[in-house]
Amino acid sequence: MPRVITFGEIMLRLSTPGYLRFSQARQFDATFGGGEANVAVSLANYGIDTEFVTRLPDNDVARSCLKELRSYGVGVSHCITGGDRLGIYFLETGAVARPSKVVYDRAGSSLATIAPGMIDWDEVFDGADWFHWTGITPAVSQGAADVCLEAVRAANRLGLTVSCDLNFRKNLWKYGRSASEVMPALVEGCDIILGNEEDAEKVFGIKPEGFDAASTAGAIDQGRFRSVAEQLMARFPRARKVIITLRGSINANHNTWGGVLYDGKTLYESPRYDITHIVDRVGGGDSFMGGLIYGLLSYPGDDQRALDFAVAASCLKHTIFGDFNQVTVAEVENLMKGDGSGRVSR
């Protein structure tokens, strides 16, 4: 069985109940989440041997977090202890014309204060086939960026497939360096590059002509993103595949969802899903990445099917509360076959 390693920060997620605003909330729903951990949970749900690596404080909240990850079948044996606190993010879920809001409280977290040499990457990668990271991790701190680069270089040396989700978060790049300064050295070591319709532009200045993500009204010409994929491959020649998720935002509760995959010759386009009643879109990109890694590992040589699996898996994630995509392979494949009726399964 393939073995996948992910590395990044997991946080305590505090979300307002229902659609309450921060100013209205008198309590918060507490869960855990973070980009690379979300991918690990998806893969474990699909039966993939998966290990999540991070740095956590030595306290009961962190132990509860590890316990929850283990409950989903995610390995945590290479997580290290240190630092003073677990990062937190607060979520206010939007509705209709009011967008969702995220407030981060992660400065000085255990992961933010990590340093090179703290993790033995040769030991972590022993017997592994795949390493995944996201652009959120190097945005947290210089130390996190350095350790992420340390991991990418070790994975390259040991022959693992390396994937990244560009995941640009403007509210995180606060430590004196920009994404465009830090990310190129990391992405140079990647075989699989994922981004949304804005990430390549925000990080590398690469965009399709005349495209404005804020005014799609749900309609996106997927074929226009071939040029983005070609430009990314030209800049990062190690990359074998570039994948772009495409979200058409009609309002906060109603999106269209799809994606494209480019292998250097062919542009594969997914079906587009009309998601009319979003329960929780946080973690949507991570659920796509988890589905994509599963698809590329499980359907070798069939990039169309791998892409279709990723999009369907992520479509289902939009119906699930919390960061984690708690669906099975059978449920994703049923949606791929066209069973989106939502009829009761008896």
Strand-pair category, 11-15 with 29-33:
antiparallel
- Cα–Cα distance between 269 and 253 in angstroms, integer? 24
- Cα–Cα distance between 309 and 290 in angstroms, integer? 10
In the prediction, which pLDDT does 260 show?
96
> Do 201 and 224 contact (CB within 8 A), yes or no?
no
- 177-223 per-position pLDDT tens digit: 999 999 999 999 999 999 987 899 999 999 876 555 555 555 567 67
- Cα–Cα distance between 280 and 57 in angstroms, integer? 28
Partner residues linked to 3 by β-bridges = 49
In the prediction, which pLDDT does 96 show?
92
pLDDT of 339 strictly over 80:
no
- Cα–Cα distance between 88 and 285 in angstroms, integer? 20
pLDDT of 331 strictly over 60:
yes
- 1-16 per-position pLDDT tens digit: 899 999 999 999 999 9
In the prediction, which pLDDT does 138 show?
97
- 276-325 per-position pLDDT tens digit: 999 988 999 999 999 999 999 999 999 999 999 999 999 999 999 999 99
- Cα–Cα distance between 250 and 72 in angstroms, integer? 33
Sheet strands side by side (includes 29-33): 29-33, 11-15, 88-92, 101-105
In the prediction, which pLDDT does 209 show?
65
pLDDT band per the 50, 70, 90 thresholds, residue 344: very low
In the prediction, which pLDDT does 43 show?
98
pLDDT of 81 strictly over 50:
yes
> Mean pLDDT throughout 27-32?
96
Task: Choose between 224 and 306: higher pLDDT.
Answer: 306
- Cα–Cα distance between 237 and 256 in angstroms, integer? 31
- Whole-Å CA distances, 223 to 67, 229, 233, 237, 328: 43, 11, 16, 21, 30
pLDDT of 254 strictly over 90:
yes
- Cα–Cα distance between 132 and 62 in angstroms, integer? 22
Lowest mean pLDDT among 104-108, 223-227, 312-316, 325-329: 223-227
In the prediction, which pLDDT does 70 show?
98
In the prediction, which pLDDT does 113 show?
98
What SS3 class is residue 176? coil
Which of 116, 70, 103, 108 is CA-nearest to residue 86?
108
In the prediction, which pLDDT does 123 show?
98
Sorted by where each starts, the structural domains of the chain and their CATH numbers stand as 3-327 (3.40.1190.20)
Which of 195, 48, 56 is CA-nearest to residue 113?
56
In the prediction, which pLDDT does 133 show?
98
Cα 204 from chain centre: 19
> Do 159 and 193 contact (CB within 8 A), yes or no?
no
